[in-house]
Amino acid sequence: MDHVEEFIRYLKFEKRYSVHTQKAYEADIIQFKDYIATEYEASVDQASDVVIRSWVISRIENSSSKRSLNRKLSSLRQFYKYLLREGVVDQNPMLRILSMKIDKTVPSFISETEMRFLLEKLEYSKDYEGVRDKAVLQMFYHTGIRLSELIDLKVEDVDFSQKQVKVFGKRSKERIIPLLNEHVADLNNYLKERQALFGSSKGSLFLTISGNVLYPKLVYRFVNSYLSRVTSVNQKSPHVLRHAFATHMLNDGADLNAVKEILGHVSLSSTQIYTHSSVEQLKKVYKQAHPRGDH
């Protein structure tokens, strides 16, 4: 077993990273491994900071975005920390490698009016898929969870008596998110359809029409389809609903730290990108309410 395989086993069994994260780390490190084998006839345990910088330059020349490159560098940092801990290398070549500076962009989101139309006015089919799709859209917008978190939800994660859902986020960190009464009622309706079709009330919460666990491409496809009916924003992905949740919560006066906890952010700075709209809302209120606001 080579160093990369050992590292992935470490991520799986000790760090308990998700399969998606494991694959991302593996792809990044193998890409680097292939590069230094081809360009330097060297192995990963022989890499220096100079070699790593040359790889970074090669990725830039291949049009890798700063965000993508930073993710790859993060993978290498974890990898070389592991190799140093295991005594495979004597020093960490990543210590002198800095991440690319990325300008923070305002996330796309849809308005409260558009969300209201999506969940209250839009016609959904009365069959299993229509009921499921609405339940999925509600789960995204009412809880702000990530796509991977939604797919991983189990029926038993929903506590109907307490009106809350247990979510396992990045690095298996658990958090509890409250559910609205209307959402709980619709979830119950969905589960009735689910049980009638598949005869089971256990396992993954959201299933395909064939009874399998939902997969990302399918969710992207139907979320895009529904959002296209209510909004003209360019990005129409599940993450837009997460953005909408955070922005609308903050606009309506929610505490920043509370939103941070619900979203499962480690750093408050990750949540602060959603305050852009709140500032605009404050300006609007200020202009309308101040005695000289119209001057």
- Confidence at residue 139, expressed as pLDDT on a 0 to 100 scale: 97
Clarify whether 290 is annotated catalytic.
no
pLDDT at position 291 over 90 = no
Q: How confident is the model at residue 201 (pLDDT cuts 50, 70, 90)?
A: confident
Write down the pLDDT at residue 268.
72
Say which residue, 76 or 285, is predicted with more confidence: 76
Catalytic residue among 166, 170, 175, 276: 170
158: which strand partners?
165
Give the mean pLDDT of the chain. Answer: 89
Among residues 229, 251, 225, 257, which one has the least CA distance to residue 238? 225
Instruction: Select the highest-mean-pLDDT range: 99-103, 223-227, 278-282.
Output: 223-227
Options 146, 183, 248, 260, the catalytic residue: 146
Find the catalytic residue in 132, 242, 248, 260: 242
pLDDT of 265 above 90: no
* Euclidean distance between CA atoms 245 and 242, whole angstroms: 5
Which of 199, 228, 209, 200 has the alpha carbon at shortest distance from 137? 228
CB 122 within 8 A of CB 223: no
CB 80 within 8 A of CB 89: yes
* Residue reference for tokens 């790593």: 52
**Among residues of the chain, what percentage have pLDDT more than 90?**
68
pLDDT in tens, 214-228: 999 999 999 999 999
35 catalytic? Reply is no
H helix runs in the chain, sequence order: 3-13, 19-39, 49-61, 66-85, 112-116, 128-143, 147-152, 181-198, 216-228, 238-251, 256-263, 268-272, 275-289
pLDDT at 20: 87
pLDDT of residue 95: 94
DSSP at 204: B
| Mean pLDDT calculated for residue range 21-28 | 94
Please say if the pLDDT value at position 54 is more than 70: yes
pLDDT at 104 exceeding the cut of 70? no
Is 226 among the residues known to form the active site? no
Asked if 131 and 189 touch (Cβ cutoff 8 Å), the reply is yes
Active site residue 59: no
Q: What is the pLDDT of residue 288?
A: 62
Residue 209 is classified by DSSP as T
Q: In angstroms, rounded to a whole number, what is the distance separating the alpha carbons of residues 222 and 130? A: 10
Among residues 53, 163, 239, 276, the one annotated as catalytic is 239
pLDDT, tens digit, 9 for 90 and up, residues 109-145: 788 999 999 999 999 999 999 999 999 999 999 999 9
User: CA–CA separation, 267 vs 133, rounded Å?
Assistant: 31
pLDDT at 202 over 80: yes
Residue-level pLDDT at 293: 60
DSSP 165: E
User: Is pLDDT larger for residue 285 or for residue 157?
Assistant: 157
Q: What is the pTM of this model?
A: 0.64
* pLDDT of residue 286 exceeding 80: no
Tell me whether residue 53 is one of the annotated catalytic residues: no
66 counts as catalytic? no
With 80 as the cut, is the pLDDT of residue 169 above it? yes
Q: Is the pLDDT of residue 289 over 70?
A: no
Residue 106 has pLDDT above 60, yes or no: no
CB atoms near residue 179 (< 10 Å): 21
pLDDT value of residue 294: 57
Q: Give me the domains of the chain, ranges plus CATH numbers.
A: 3-85 (1.10.150), 112-286 (1.10.443.10)
Quick one: DSSP state of residue 230? T
Q: Is the pLDDT of residue 263 over 60?
A: yes
Task: Kindly report, residue by residue over 70-99, the tens digit of the pLDDT.
Answer: 999 999 999 999 999 999 999 999 999 999
Mean pLDDT of all residues in 41-57: 95
Q: Which two tokens stand for residue 55?
A: 């790889």
Radius of gyration of the chain (CA): 23
% of the chain residues with pLDDT over 70:
89
